[in-house]
Every structure is written in structure tokens, then in C-alpha cells.
Amino acid sequence: MTSRTSPFYVYTLPETLLSSLEPISFESAGSTSTPGTTDYLEQPTPTNLTPASDPLPDSSESTRGSGPQCNTCNYSATSTDEQREHYKSDYHKFNVKRKVLGLPAVGLAMFETMLDELEESISGSDSSDSESDPPSDSTTDKVSNLLAKTTLDTIQEHGDDGAMPVRSPFHIFQSSLLPPDDVLAIYSTLFPVPENSTPQDVIRSRQLPPNVQTQDASTPVSAIFMLGGGHFAGAIISHALKPRNKADPVEFVEHKTFHRYTTRRKQGGAQSASDNAHGKAHSAGSNLRRYNEAALEKEVRELLEQWKSYIDRAEHIFVRANGRQNRKILVGYDGAVIGSRDKRVKGIPFSTRRATGSEVKRVWLELTRPKIMKKDGFAPPKSIPKPKETVSSAPSKEPEPAKELSPGELHTSQIVAFVKKSRTNPLTTYLESNRLSPDFRFEPVEQYHHTPTALHLAASLSLARMVGFLVVTLGANPTLRNDEGRTAWELSGDRATRDAFRLARADLGEQKWSWTESGVNSALTKADIVARDAREKETAVRERAEAVKRLERSRVTASQNAATIGGRKLASSVVTSVGQEQQLLSGLTPEARMRIERERRARAVEARLRAQRQRE
């Protein structure tokens, strides 16, 4: 639904417009309306507030900006991080669950009010709402309890059909000065209607006299306080606008903004909430955030004490505090300037951004500008949908029965699992209990054509221990070939697996199997493996030593050339020595090059120490 801002201010409406206003209501068939009140259907906050001409600034600014949008809550974020935090919030989860039940979304101010009422109904008194009570750490329980309460209230009040006329945040008027399809909407939170009265009478009584002074003590004022994420913004605002100042008409009697680092970036949530949920952390950042939370609370409350005279005479006190802890900093603490039962305390009936001075000013302008909306935007009330039985015209398909495995396939699945996990004892027990050969052929054959036996499978997976166990202990035949004509030896993926075959050949002897047919190399004992590894280690050490010597010789040659040759030949000799050094190291692995470099540095240190001793 589109809307636009009218070129008026709610406290200085023209007499012609006031006289033409007629309150209207949009009622469901089963609902009744009492005189002086308006029962409206759910009306979303205006999303397009661009007037043809508006004397007030920022009139084109919408409650939904150009940032990431949440269509469920009618919320606009200023950044992607803020959008993520919104999706994690109780407010968004609550509106998502209402949407599933067919209920309209609620504004953030209404959600906070409902949450406070739920907490008060659970506690039963203000005394239990103290700083010593730990906040609930179950977001799901909080949202579910609130949703269950609102749904139950809806059913009890409106019957099983669930029809629920939801109060709009506006007083809606029609006027002869407007087109027939347009209505004028004014936020009802500014003009609460008492019994035996009408909205237009209340609005008329709140009109300011002409030539009123903005700083006059008799001029009505309102207070706005916003707190969240360590950001605070507060102001005492005069109801009278600045004369002849269309660029900045809002008159701040008092205003203050400050910020404390209380929330870890990209994590969200206050440090105190994290301590209550996960225990007290002892990092430097957490200690700093705890200190800043205490300092922020102290500064805010000291400011409220300084503004007590203005707060006491304020007509409205608008509070936007994210979370219960932030709200208790402003309202309802021991000796609070603003009591928890103060009827002047209200939420802001639309989405807001970060708490700043400009945002406070925008909130006040948005509250005090009448909106011109289309009458057809007020739709019939929604009702809680009842579950419907889906009747499908197509015949229902019965689930196909699971394919039964053959005994061979069952044995295959068990043996494969034992081999892959190298579970030797369970494999032995399974083969013996089922009287199976260690050369059992896997089924289905087309699936296991590459690894038809347990030995082939273990060799292809480079399971050296399992290969030795199968050949030596269980007696698996290493000469068997797969459908590709390859033995298990030929499927071996690493040296350790091939060594396992050669060790088995040494243990079983040459007469056990036709080792030549299996392709296994000559027999190898454990002593032979140890001796081979030692020889390879010595060779590697010798090669490293020779490489270091060659490197040292190249450096000595380069230094001699640098001492005897001047001019451009010096650079060419250095380049040549560097090239020779790179050529010497190019054939080595990175680990070998690192070891050579460490040895070179160690020798350089020893040389410096020897030179120092000689000088002494």
C-alpha cells in the first residue's frame, strides 16, 4: 500500500482541515466498535513517504530505506550485518511464526510491549523483575510462550474461527478536502482517546496556540530515548517547531548522544547476556565490554536525573531499547526517573535505525507528520487458517519395497566394512562363523570388478597392516587377479603396502605361493628394512653435507670475485654466484633446503665466535 506525507504538522493543523475530519473504522463482520474508539484492521507502516511538497525536512525518507529488506517484519536494515542480526532476533522469529499461523506481523514497539506484559504476568510483581534475576536463555521458549499466549487470547476472544481485528497504529480520518479514495492517518500513540471522547476532539485539544515559543516553560514537550548495541541517543523535544526554519524545524530543548563498546563486532548481544548464557569469559575484550556496560548504565541514569524536570512534564516518553537489559537501564530500576507503570512510556510504532541524534529527529518528524493513504489499502481481517486436507486427484503411489540383498551381498557389505576400518579381530570372527574363505569374491561382481577380494581392496586402499594380516594370518592368495588381470600387488599404492607383501613372502617362504605369478618382489625381512632405511638416511645426510659444501664454495668464490673485480663485472659475478646457488638447491626438496640453510647459519655463527675468540 502506497502513502505520502501531508504538508502538515499534527500540533498545528489548519482549522479547515480539523473541521472536515471524520473518523472512520474498518470493522469485521463479527466485531463491534465502541463510541470514540476505532477498531482498525492491520495496517502496515507506510513504505513510501514522498509528498508532492512538504515543508518539513527528510519527508522523502521512508521507514524502509534502500538497504536490505525484511518483508515479514516490514523492516529495513542499513547493512548486511544488521540484517543478519535482525534475522537472529526474537522479534523476527515471532513474526515468522505468526505468519505461519496466518496472523499479521506486529511492529517492534508492539512486540516489546507484549513481551513486557508476558514477563509481568509470569513474575506477578515488580519485585521479581530485579537485576538479580538472570534473563531467560531460551529464545525458543520466550517466543513460543508469547505466541501461545497471543494465539490463545485470539481464540478465546473471537471464537474458533480465529477472526481477529488488529488495532492499527493510526487514527484514520476521511475529509472533504481529500479525494474520495484517500484517508488521513495520524499516529494514535500521540493522541490516546479516553472514554466518551472522539479522536478529532483529542487532536483539537492538543493544538498549539499561534506564535507559541519553542523554549517557553508552558510549551508541551516529549522525550525520546533510544538505546541498543552500546549506542544511546536521547532528547527532550518541544512540540513547537522552530519558526521560519524549514531545513531543521525540530527544537531540541535538551539532547545527548554517546557510545560505549559493549558488543563484540559481528557477534551480537551484550557481554552480560553472554556471561549469563555461557559463563564469564576472562579475555581482555570481555572485561572491557563489562566495564563499558556499567559505565553506560551509569551515564544514562545520571543523564535522566539531570533531565528529571523535563521528563516529569513530558506528555509522551518514547522508548526504543533492544532487549530487557537495555530497557531496565532506562525504565523501572530502583529510584528510576521513569517508572515501569508510567502510562506515558510508549514504544516507537515503526522500525528505527542506530541510536543517533539525527535518528531521534527523524523519529519525531515521522511521528508528527500525518500520512495520506489509499482507502482500499485496508483489507478484510485475516483469520487463523485451519489445516486443510489435501485431496490429490492422482492415485497415491505405494512405496516400493526395499530390495532384499542376497547372502553374498550381505557378506560383502560386512567384509568391506571390516577391511576399510582395519578391524582384524571382527573380520576373523565373521569369516569363521560364516565359514567363508579369505578369498571370498565380493558381490555384485560388476560393482567390485576392480577389487573382487578383501586383499585387492586392502592393497588398493594402501592398508599395509591389513594386507599383512590377510596374507600371513588368514592365508589370502596373492596370485588371484581381478577382471582387469591385475594382482593385489599391482594395486598397491605405496611403499609400505609393497613392503607388507615382501615381508609376507619372507615369513611364508617361497613354497607357499607362486610369488613370481603374483608379481611380488624378492623377500624382505624386518632387518633388511631397517638396514635399508639406515642406508637411505646416511645417503640423505651425505648429500645434504655435500650440498652445503658446494654452497659454501660458491659463496667463497663470489666473495673473492667481489673483492678483485670492480664496476659492472662485480654485479655480473654476484648474479653468477646467486645463479649457481639456486642451481645447486633446485634439485632438493623444501625440507632439505631448509636444513641446509639452518646448517649454513650455524656455521656462520661458529665462524663469528672463532673470530671473536682470536681477537680476545
What residues are annotated to the active site? 271
Q: What is the β-pairing status of strands 371-374 and 3-5?
A: antiparallel
Provide DSSP, 278-346.
Answer: H----SHHHHHHHHHHHHHHHHHHHHHHHTHHHHHT-S-EEEEESSHHHHHHHSSSTT-SS-TT-TTEE
Residues 256 and 235: their CA atoms lie apart, in Å, by 6
Distances (CA, A) of 163 to 104, 148, 200, 270, 359: 11, 16, 29, 39, 37
Q: What is the β-pairing status of strands 317-321 and 221-228?
A: parallel
* Residues in contact with 459: Cβ distance below 8 Å, sequence separation at least 6, in sequence order: 467, 488, 489, 491, 492, 493, 497, 501
Q: What is the β-pairing status of strands 345-346 and 221-228?
A: unpaired
Q: Specify whether the CB–CB gap between 304 and 236 falls below 8 A.
A: no
What's the CA angle centered on 362, arms 359 and 367, to 5 degrees? 130
Nearest alpha-carbon partner for 225 in 160, 301, 285, 134? 301
Residues 530 and 242: their CA atoms lie apart, in Å, by 95
Residues 160 and 96: their CA atoms lie apart, in Å, by 22
For residue 59, the tally of other CB atoms under 10 A from its CB is 19
Nearest alpha-carbon partner for 276 in 421, 138, 461, 146? 138
Q: What are the contacts of 135-140 at 24+ separation with CB within 8 A?
A: 135/273, 135/276, 135/324, 135/325, 137/276, 137/277, 139/90, 139/93
Q: What are the contacts of 309-314 at 24+ separation with CB within 8 A?
A: 310/221, 310/223, 310/236, 310/253, 310/254, 311/223, 311/236, 311/337, 311/338, 313/221, 314/221, 314/222, 314/223, 314/236, 314/344
Segment holding 605, helix H or strand E = helix 590-615
Half-sphere exposure of 366 (CA within 13 A, CB side): 25
How much is the CA Rg of the chain, to the nearest whole Å? 41
Residues 116 and 120: their CA atoms lie apart, in Å, by 6
For cell 556471561, the residue is 275
* Residues in contact with 165: Cβ distance below 8 Å, sequence separation at least 6, in sequence order: 27, 28, 31, 39, 40, 41, 381
Please give the single-letter amino acid code of residue 418.
F
